[in-house]
Amino acid sequence: MTAGYSGTSGERRPVPRHLLSVADLGQEGIQEVMALADSFAEVSERSIPRVPALRGKTVMSLFYEDSTRTRLSFEAAAKRLSADTLTFTVSASSVSKGECLRDTAETISAMGVDAVVIRHASAGAPWQVASWVDACVINAGDGWHEHPTQALLDCYTIRSRMGSLHGLRIAIVGDVKHSRVARSDVLAFTMLGAEVTLVAPPTLLPPNLSGWPVRVSSDLDAVLGNCGVVYMLRMQAERQTEALLPSLREYTARFGLTRARADLLADDALVMHPGPMNRGVEIAADVAELPCSVITRQVANGVAVRMAVLFLLLGASPRG
């Protein structure tokens, strides 16, 4: 496997140094990650799921916000590539003594890590860290802004079930305003030729959607019968500083994926959610278990996709 990918005109496009936004990869880069993920998915099925591709490299996770799936998935991915892993736990570090992001980043840099996987509550924090450290920086979610590896694993999951995203109608439903997943998914899905419709109450949409290549609807029932994928977003209660909804019950009544609504979906349509789910709010408990739900597949695919990302960035790295 080589680092770098061909552009549409056939020229070799350099691998980005960091993965901060889906835009760093572009359409060809996303395709390259998915092709690499195909080969790494096969590694994950072996009795000893490990290859020596990144032996001698060190990957650090630096999570300033809680995470279950993303952190574990990156750590599993790094281990399956034989990289060393370091986990920085903010609550058990000098951050609790007031150490700033820059000093923490410089400490990490001094230790000679090759990649930093960062999640932070502030939009733009991964860009800041990338300007301070020598390591490759991977954005594992920055505030409401972006979550590029979630978008990559979502594209990969859709491609594995549908063959392609080209011309596919995808509805992204719920708290778009506070969702970094929605921002990265819109970029990635549309780069691969999908038609995206955002379905949300006006208070849960970003105040300005100009430049977003999407349609908008507030009628979930009308959209459901006409889409190939329905992507439910978590209600981000922790990011809501004002009363944006009359009540959660009313929200669920209009925008929740209930069992009755799931019956409106086409036979081959997929139900997705990035997790963690608020069962009974944006998605009914039994809908998450239906055969059309690929929510567990998303988690499983996340490891292969993150192996692909680490390999793409670190395999091309001149360090070490």
Positions touching ligand NCD (CB under 6 A) are 69-70, 141, 147, 150, 180-181, 234, 236, 274-275
Cβ closest to ligand NCD, residue 274 vs residue 315: 274
Cβ closest to ligand NCD, residue 121 vs residue 260: 121
Burial annotation 151-190 (CB, 10 A radius, 16+ → b, else e):
bbbbbbbbbeebeebeebbbbbbbbbbbbbbbbbbbbbbb
- Looking at the DSSP bridge assignments, the partners of residue 61 are 87, 117
Q: How do strand 5-6 and strand 214-217 relate by DSSP bridges? A: unpaired
Cβ closest to ligand NCD, residue 33 vs residue 53: 33
Cβ closest to ligand NCD, residue 150 vs residue 190: 150
Cβ closest to ligand NCD, residue 277 vs residue 290: 277
Q: Which residue is nearest to ligand NCD (CB)?
A: 234
Shortest Cβ 119–ligand NCD spacing (Å)? 7
Residue type, 114: D
Shortest Cβ 231–ligand NCD spacing (Å)? 11
Cβ closest to ligand NCD, residue 120 vs residue 180: 180
Question: How many whole angstroms separate alpha carbon 274 and alpha carbon 276?
Answer: 7
Shortest Cβ 120–ligand NCD spacing (Å)? 11
Shortest Cβ 195–ligand NCD spacing (Å)? 23
Shortest Cβ 106–ligand NCD spacing (Å)? 26
Shortest Cβ 245–ligand NCD spacing (Å)? 16
Cβ closest to ligand NCD, residue 15 vs residue 170: 170
Shortest Cβ 110–ligand NCD spacing (Å)? 29
Shortest Cβ 189–ligand NCD spacing (Å)? 16
Question: How many whole angstroms separate alpha carbon 284 and alpha carbon 230?
Answer: 14
Cβ closest to ligand NCD, residue 57 vs residue 142: 142
